[in-house]
Amino acid sequence: MDIKGPSFEILSIGNELLIGKTLNTNGQWLARQITLLGGLCVRMTVIRDDLEEISRAFKEVLERSPRFLIASGGLGPTYDDMTVEGLSKALGRPLKLHEEALSWIAQKYGDLYRRGLTKDPKLTPQRMKMALLPLGAKPLRNPVGAAPGVLLEADSTKIICLPGVPEELKAIFEESVKEEITRGVGGYYFVESRFTVENMGESTLAPIIEETVRRYSPLVYVKSHPKDRSPNITVEFHLTAQGRDKELLEEKVNEAVSYLKENIRRLGGKIVDLG
Amino acid sequence: MDIKGPSFEILSIGNELLIGKTLNTNGQWLARQITLLGGLCVRMTVIRDDLEEISRAFKEVLERSPRFLIASGGLGPTYDDMTVEGLSKALGRPLKLHEEALSWIAQKYGDLYRRGLTKDPKLTPQRMKMALLPLGAKPLRNPVGAAPGVLLEADSTKIICLPGVPEELKAIFEESVKEEITRGVGGYYFVESRFTVENMGESTLAPIIEETVRRYSPLVYVKSHPKDRSPNITVEFHLTAQGRDKELLEEKVNEAVSYLKENIRRLGGKIVDLG
């Protein structure tokens, strides 16, 4: 049975993520969107703003041939925004000024100027830099900020680069990326269900989990998350399934949940349903 | 000048991070601690609960020879806790029951039993599993939960595995890992300063940033973060420096901050200091 959607990797670029200044909410948001669209996110890599490192990381991901590679961060106008340059280096495709991207950027700064939000609408080298794309890349319109997203195909991988500003990342994703992914994923679904056991530790539950896994794996994935809510021991269960037949997935997840709950109750477990 | 502390990589293990269920707060917390202790966190990799993938990721990190590799997640008693098995596979070192680790685990469940928090203090196979360590590994006491942390040296890398439950990860870190890192890092410091510009976009600021970088790089790293606070354009500046001479770092960061602020004010920028 076909239980795994097309594979995705996420590449998050930015020193702020590696000095612990910023929580990688973009990575989580992207992983959630990809999962809900039926994709299988297999890896997330976080790297620094370093040209060599960016280029190396792109190469490493492409060697693993995921169907999609979604990068975030490093598309802006400053000296350490070098995602596109790193990608160009990794692919051996030179950067070229993209006329359409440039016109969007010109329009954006013209608009900011008219609204009194920039003193000068001029296309400085730093602003023009955002229209430099690797040969063959397509810019994705940024409805919020100036830096366009980038879409590119390399061998069997679709590469999408998005800005690190969350509002811009989300806006480009909604406007251009979602449809691209939906088309690429083609009819995979993700189903999930969760509940909590409030008076029992994970090691006590482990044999029941193992028996459920024996019965419902690999279609249903059973995951238990111990939560520290002293003095009560709490374990959250999260059951997930991925595949092409949504009704079957729902049926099997429900069966596995019932089987688990019944056996946990028999052991004296107190079950709380979650929203 | 020696401006880079010893390198660290973080390996976060858990499907929940790749389906977007859980935000990787452990990764951020670890990156912050490492940075504040003077280490340079160069990469964070997030992977699924898959034995082959865990083993492959450990190998890949070890090939890059960071001074420290801190892994989190997958140390518990259930079937899909397989970090230690993956590590054993990556290193080609067999798993062996560690007597001291086993005695800690026995003590833990005995204690839970006496407090009425588990029905049975017996060392089941699932509980004993947490005392299986690769040959040569040292267990790290878990003051909160049952699963011990794991410390291991492989070539030039110190490998530390911590549980994914945040309270347990933090407790083991504070009790055992902090000292290990401090000793390993040996006299590197991290200095930072930040402020915000409230009425100017990043592309307008870019030339000033470039000039500051020309003057103070590579000692001082200047990072600008555009924040979407419509209708105002806001850019946060975060200046950082790492090295052995703390006073020099503070002096140079302060100089760079003053230089930036002076030139931004000259351009009409409104500066707000952050705490």
The pLDDT of residue B227 is: 85
d(CA A54, CA B141): 37
Indicate the pLDDT class of residue A99, thresholds 50, 70 and 90: very high
Which of B126, B168, B203 is the closest to A127 by Cβ? B203
Contact criterion met (CB < 8 Å) for B18 and A24: no
Chain centre to alpha carbon of residue B184: 15
Instruction: Output the average pLDDT for chain B.
Output: 94
Provide the strand spans (E) within B59-163.
68-72, 95-97, 132-134, 138-140, 149-154, 157-162
Contacts with B207 from chain A: Cβ below 8 Å? 124, 126
pLDDT single digits (tens) A2-31 = 667 899 999 999 999 999 999 999 999 999
Which of B33, B45, B225 is the closest to A45 by Cβ? B45
pLDDT single digits (tens) A140-187 = 999 999 999 999 999 899 999 999 999 999 999 999 999 999 999 988
Indicate the pLDDT class of residue B229, thresholds 50, 70 and 90: low
d(CA A159, CA A58): 10
Which of A17, A124, A226 is the closest to B203 by Cβ? A124
pLDDT at B265 over 80: yes
Q: Which two tokens stand for residue A147?
A: 């830096």
Coil, helix or strand at residue B134: strand
Mean pLDDT of A262-269: 95
pLDDT at B2 over 90: no
Which of B24, B78, B223 is the closest to A28 by Cβ? B24
Which residues, listed in sequence order, are joined to residue B8 by a DSSP beta bridge? B41, B68
Task: Report the gap between the CA of B151 and the closest CA in chain A (Å).
Answer: 22
Cα distance between the two ends of chain A:
30
The pLDDT of residue B233 is: 80
d(CA B149, CA A109): 53
- Give me the DSSP letters along A13-42: E-HHHHTTSS--HHHHHHHHHHHHTT-EEE
Mean pLDDT of B184-206: 93
d(CA B106, CA A54): 46
Task: Quote ipTM for the complex.
Answer: 0.94
8 Å CB contact between A169 and A72: yes
Contacts with A77 from chain B: Cβ below 8 Å? 202-203, 206
Indicate the pLDDT class of residue B117, thresholds 50, 70 and 90: confident
d(CA B27, CA A246): 33
Q: Which residue of B has its CA nearest to A9?
A: B18
8 Å CB contact between A172 and A162: yes
pLDDT single digits (tens) A34-55 = 999 999 999 999 999 999 999 9
Contact criterion met (CB < 8 Å) for B21 and A27: no
d(CA B6, CA B89): 26
Which of A24, A203, A210 is the closest to B127 by Cβ? A203
The pLDDT of residue B257 is: 97
Contacts with A167 from chain B: Cβ below 8 Å? 228
Task: Report the gap between the CA of B203 and the closest CA in chain A (Å).
Answer: 5
Mean pLDDT of B7-22: 97
Q: Which two tokens stand for residue A92?
A: 């051996």
Contacts with A21 from chain B: Cβ below 8 Å? 32, 238
Contacts with A76 from chain B: Cβ below 8 Å? 202-203, 226
d(CA A161, CA B269): 30
Mean pLDDT of B207-225: 95
pLDDT at B174 over 70: yes
The pLDDT of residue A275 is: 63
Name the pairing type of β-strands A7-13 and A68-72. parallel
The Cα-based distances of A236 to A97, A142, A199, A212, B87 in angstroms read 51, 39, 11, 15, 26
The pLDDT of residue A273 is: 85
Task: Report the gap between the CA of B159 and the closest CA in chain A (Å).
Answer: 18
Q: Which residue of A has its CA nearest to B146?
A: A203
Residue type, B110: G
Contact criterion met (CB < 8 Å) for A124 and B33: no
Q: Which residue of A has its CA nearest to B126?
A: A203
pLDDT at B275 over 70: no
Indicate the pLDDT class of residue B230, thresholds 50, 70 and 90: low
Contact criterion met (CB < 8 Å) for B144 and A228: yes
Edge-first strand listing for the sheet containing B68-72: A138-140, A149-154, A157-162, A68-72, A7-13, A40-47, B40-47, B7-13, B68-72, B157-162, B149-154, B138-140
pLDDT at B137 over 60: yes
**Best residue of A78, A81, A168 to probe chain B, by most B CBs closer than 10 Å:** A78
pLDDT at A229 over 80: no
